[in-house]
Amino acid sequence: MRGASSVMLGLVLLLGAAPSWAQSIVDAVKTGTPAQVQALAAKDASVVNAKDASGKTPLHHAANGGSVPMIECLLSLGAAIDAATTENLTPLLEAIRSGKDAAAGVLIEKGAKIDGALHWAARLNRSAVIEALLAKGADIDARDPQGFTPLTSAARMGGGPFEAIELLVRKGANLNLPDSLGNTPLDNAIIYGGADSRTIDLLLAKSAAVNTEPAALASTLSAAARRGHVRLFDYYLARGGETVLATEANRRAVMRSATMGGALEMVKALQARGIPLDLAPNRNGATPLHSLASNPKALDMVAFLVRNGADVNARTNDGRSAYNIADAAGNREVAAVLLKLGASPDPQQFPRLAGPYLGQTPPADELRPFAPGIVYLDHGTVSVSPDGQEMYWPTGTAIMMTRIQDGRWTKPAFAPFSGPSDIPFHDDVPFVTPDNKRLFFTSKRPVAPGAPEKENIWFVERTPTGWSEPRSVGPAVNAMSLHWQVSVSNAGTLYFGGRREKDGFGSGDIYCSRLENGQYTEPVNLGPAVNTKDGESQVFVAPDESFLLFWRAPGQIPSAYVSFKGSDGRWLPAVKFDLPWAGAGLSVSPDGKYLFTGGQWKSARFLEELGNRER
C-alpha cells in the first residue's frame, strides 16, 4: 500500500496538480510507467477505458507512443483492444498511422480486429505490419467501400509506399481487380499516383490489366501523355487506345495533356502521329503557356510553344499574362525567357465586373461554370452574402473573397481572417449566415496551444471595422470528427457533417447543433430519414429550415439528395435529384434563385417543384 501511495505521490508531483483520474492515466501512459498506470487502475478501474473528447482511450495513446510494455499492461487491466475514436480509429490503426510497427505487431498478436488495417499499412508503407497482418490471415485482396484493394490504395499514393507495393505484389496480390469505377491498380497509379513511376514500371513489367472502357482509356492515355511516359502510352494504345485516339476530341485532349505536363518529347511524338498542337485558351482564358508559366522545369516547353505560334501576351479571363503568372510565382527563369520572346512586363489587367453575381449571365436549368477564370475554387462552392455585396469561396487551403466597391467587384483576395497556407483544408468552406452577421468555416488552426491538428468549426463576426478574429464554436461541436461544409439557419442552428461512434449510421452523417444562450449545444444526428450507412456530408440548410441539401457517397461518385421538412417538423426521407458531381459543395443563393455546386451554378427553381411533389 505504501508503494502504491508513493507511486501516486510521484505522479501528482510529476503533473504538478491532481487532475481527474482519466487524465492522470493518459499522462501516466504518455510519460509514466506501467506501475503508475496499475496504481491508477487500482483506484478506479473504469479509467482504463475512459475516452477523451476525440474518443481516444489510454490504449490509443499507448499505441501512438509505441510502448509495447504499456500496451501489454493496459490489456492486462482490461483495456478494450478494439475501442474506436470519433474518427473510427482503433488502437491498431492508431499504431499504424503513427508508424509504431512494434506496437501494431503486439496488438495484432493479442487479437485486435484487422479489418481495414491492411489498407492503412499499405498506404503508409508499413511493410512489417503488412507481414504480420498477412500472417494473421488478412485478406490481401480485401476491398473497401470504394472497391480499393490494399494494392490499389497504395498505388494511388505515388511512390511513397513503393516497398509496400513490392511486398504485396510478391505476396500474390491480384494486380487486375478493378475498383467501383472499373479502374485497376495500374489505372489508379497513373491517374492519382503522382510523379514517381516505379509503381507504374513494376505493374507494366507484370503485364497488369487496364480498364478498357473508352472513357477510362481516354483518361489514362491523357495521364500517360502528361507524364511523358512513352512506354506507358504505347501500353495503353495496344489495349484499345488506338480506337480512342481516332476521335478528334481525344486527340486534342491527349496533346493538351502532354503540353501541360511539359512533356516535350511526348508532344513531338504526338505531332509525328499527325496530332497538332492545341494552343487555344480554356474556359478560364488560360492557354498552355499560362499554365506552364509557374513551372520552373518548363523552360524548353515555354520556348517551344512561343516559337510554334503561342501568343506570348495573351491574357486570362482575370487579365493575367504568362509573364504576370511567372513573375508572381517567383519563376524568374521562365519570366526572363518570356521577356526575351517578346512578352510585355505590364501588370495584370483585372476586368471591370459590375452587377449581381459578378455580372455573370444568369444560368438556366443546366449547370454552367460560374465566373470562369475569376473564381478559382477547390473543395467547396461559393457563399453569397444576403445583401449580394460579397462572395466567398475556398481554394483548398484558404478562403478568398470579392466585394462590390464603387459599383464594381474587386479583384479576388484572401479573406482578412484567412491567408496562404500549405496545409490542406487549413481554412475551408465559408458560409455567410442569413442575417449577414457571421461567417462560419472549417479550419485546422489549433483551438488551443498544443491541441492536435483536426478540422474544427470556427466563425467570425461583423464589426464596424470588418470581420472579427476567428472564434471556435466550442467543444460541444468540435469534439466530434468533422469534415467539409457547414450551414446555418435563421435561428442560428448549425448544420454540419461529422462522425460519432455512439449514434452514427455510416462513414459520415449530418448533424445539427442549436444555439442556446449564446452557446452551441450537444449535436443531434438527423436520423435515418437523412443519414445512411453510405455516408452523408456537405450540407446546406434553407434559412427557414424547410429543406436541406447534401451529398451521399455510396461509392466514389457522390449523389445529390434533398430532404424536406414535414408538417410535423420532422425531416422527410431524402430523395435523390439529378445533379452531376461538380467538385464538392452545395448552396442556394440568398434570393433562392440559383444553386451553386463546385465552381458551377444553375437555376434553383426545380427545388420548389420537388418540394411540392414530396411534401
Q: What are the pLDDT digits (tens) for 368-386?
A: 999 999 999 998 999 999 9
Give kind and range of the element (H or E) at residue 167. helix 162-170
Question: Among 145, 371, 373, which Cα is nearest to 382's?
Answer: 371
Q: Is the sign of the CA dihedral 301, 307, 312, 316 positive or negative?
A: negative
- Cell 492545341 locates to 278
The pLDDT-based confidence of 22 (bands split at 50, 70, 90) is low
Residue 65 near residue 29, CB atoms below 8 Å: yes
The torsion angles phi and psi of 270, rounded to 5 degrees, stand at -70, -40
- Ranking 342-351, 374-383, 406-415, 495-504 by mean pLDDT, the lowest is 495-504
Reduced to 3 states (helix: H, G, I; strand: E, B; else coil), residue 3 is helix
Question: Among 232, 243, 147, which Cα is nearest to 193's?
Answer: 232
The torsion angles phi and psi of 153, rounded to 5 degrees, stand at -55, -45
Reduced to 3 states (helix: H, G, I; strand: E, B; else coil), residue 520 is strand
Count CA atoms closer than 13 A to 362's CA, side-chain side: 13
Exposure string for 195-204, b = 16+ CB within 10 A, e = fewer: eebebbebbb
Read off the pLDDT of each residue in 539-546 and give the average, rounded to a whole number: 97
CA atoms of 440 and 428, how far apart (whole Å): 9
Tens of pLDDT along 144-174?
988 999 999 999 998 789 999 999 999 999 9
Q: Which pLDDT belongs to residue 488?
A: 98
Residue 477 near residue 513, CB atoms below 8 Å: yes
Q: Which pLDDT belongs to residue 380?
A: 92
How many Å separate Cα 76 from the centre of its chain?
39
- Cell 461544409 locates to 485
Exposure string for 167-194, b = 16+ CB within 10 A, e = fewer: bbbeeebbbebbbeeebbbbbbbbbebe
**What percentage of the chain carries pLDDT values higher than 70?**
96
Q: Which pLDDT belongs to residue 209?
A: 94
Reduced to 3 states (helix: H, G, I; strand: E, B; else coil), residue 564 is strand
Average pLDDT, the chain: 92
Read off the pLDDT of each residue in 390-397 and give the average, rounded to a whole number: 95
Reduced to 3 states (helix: H, G, I; strand: E, B; else coil), residue 16 is coil
CA atoms of 421 and 456, how far apart (whole Å): 16
Tell me the three cell numbers of residue 292. Answer: 506552364
CA atoms of 542 and 559, how far apart (whole Å): 19
- Per CATH, the number for 356-614 is 2.120.10
Q: Where are the domains of the chain?
A: 356-614
CB count in 10 Å sphere of residue 215: 10
**576, burial (CB in 10 Å: exposed 0-12, middle 13-18, buried 19+):** exposed
Tell me the three cell numbers of residue 588. Answer: 442556394
